[in-house]
Amino acid sequence: MVLNQFFNVPKPADVRWAHGVNSLDDLNEVLSRRDDIDMVEADVRLSSKDPKLVVVSHDVADYDVSDNNHSFEAWIRWDLFRSIVWYFLTSELKML
């Protein structure tokens, strides 16, 4: 399947995406516009401060991930949680 067919748009260039969604704050803002965005892109890399940590960060400088705002694990869990809730809410609304 071609990308534009998956998103039901005339051509791949019409797929709407959010670039550089590199924090939970950014993700919340993008997900609040779910009807305007088809794809989300984030810069994922290992932390230079702790190579066991994966962070979402475009900058060379690492962020303090103790607040979870730039933790990849927190980012992906929040995205999945909101996606699942959105799916069930819209499925229930369609059944009404």
pLDDT digits (tens, 9 = 90+) for 1-35: 688 888 888 998 998 989 988 888 888 888 888 77
Q: Give me the residue spans of the domains in the chain.
A: 14-95
Cα torsion at 75, 78, 16, 5 (round to 10°)?
A: 110
DSSP H or E run through 14:
none
| Contact present, 64 and 48 (Cβ < 8 Å) | no
**pTM strictly above 0.75:** no
Q: Which residue has the higher pLDDT, 86 or 38?
A: 38
Indicate if the pLDDT at residue 79 is higher than 60: yes
Mean pLDDT of the chain: 77
Q: Which residue has the higher pLDDT, 74 or 92?
A: 74
Tell me how far apart the alpha carbons of residues 41 and 61 are, in angstroms, rounded to a whole number: 19
CA quadruple 40, 48, 46, 63: dihedral sign: negative
